[in-house]
Amino acid sequence: MYTDQRREKILSLLQEQESVSVNGLTEVLNVSRATIRSDLNYLSKNNLLIRTHGGAIRSKEDETLKIDKNYDIRKQKNIDKKTQIAKKALAYIQPGECIVLDASSTCYELAKLIDQSDLKLTILTNGIRTASLLKENFNLTVILIGGVVKGSSNAVEGILGIEILKKLNIDTLFTSAYAISSSEGLSDFNLYEVELKKRMVEIAPHTIALIDSTKFEKKSIATFAKLNQLELLITDDQLLDEVKKYYENDVEIL
């Protein structure tokens, strides 16, 4: 089991039973106590659990994460910021291009603007709502990336449909994330969607990240893109200047 998978399992167990012990996790995950302690310390440092003597308990951030996994709730958060970002991003799409939109709520706002435009495009997406929104637009060829669909998520997960990305001449990937940090880059909480996003970033010649100002200097479970893999980072006008200057050492910010 990879490190990220092990840490997601720990968080999953916490959602089920509210507390975990080092001894119990050692048996369940079949790794050493030192490894479990390292995992718990990492997750505690990123406010994903609260470290206790001999184990950990669920954190307030974990409760927020469970809510944020519900797409219908998530897409209503910071809607003004997402709309502002989407308007900026639309200017980076040219007629006739083949683009990729991930399943994020920010990319959904961009999809709404595309639908209202006269742009003729080929659009690949793992966003179920995004594909449903755009499928009736005769100017657009919409391709839904195949994979697993679960629960309240809007995303098709996994890499079952990755081959379609390799067969088409993609121009630009537009993606968002649960969190961004200068050290870890773009990170998210769903390991299966993260794996697909990693492949998207690898395949697309240009990647534009759409990240609202509330997500900066935070981390989630797994990283899918480093800052130097981004062509451009688009955010809203609420990002503090000192934070913006810090990130501009690694990526252009709009």
pLDDT at 71: 47
pLDDT at 131: 93
Give the whole-angstrom CA distance, residue 217 versus residue 219. 7
Q: Indicate the average pLDDT of the chain.
A: 86
User: What is the bridge-based pairing of β-strands 179-181 and 185-188?
Assistant: antiparallel
Give the whole-angstrom CA distance, residue 105 versus residue 177. 10
pTM of the model: 0.73
Fold of 3-61: Arc Repressor Mutant, subunit A (1.10.10)
pLDDT at 161 over 80: no
Segment among 108-117, 152-161, 195-204 with least mean pLDDT: 152-161
Pick among 3.10.150.10, 3.10.450.40, 3.40.50.1360, 3.60.110.10: CATH of 75-253: 3.40.50.1360
Task: Indicate where the chain has its CATH 3.40.50.1360 domain(s).
Answer: 75-253
Kindly state the percentage of the chain with pLDDT values over 70. Answer: 89
pLDDT band at 231 (very low <50, low <70, confident <90, very high): very high
pLDDT at 67: 42
Q: Residue 203 phi/psi, 5° resolution?
A: -85, -40
pLDDT at 73 over 70: no
pLDDT band at 226 (very low <50, low <70, confident <90, very high): very high
Task: Indicate where the chain has its CATH 1.10.10.10 domain(s).
Answer: 3-61
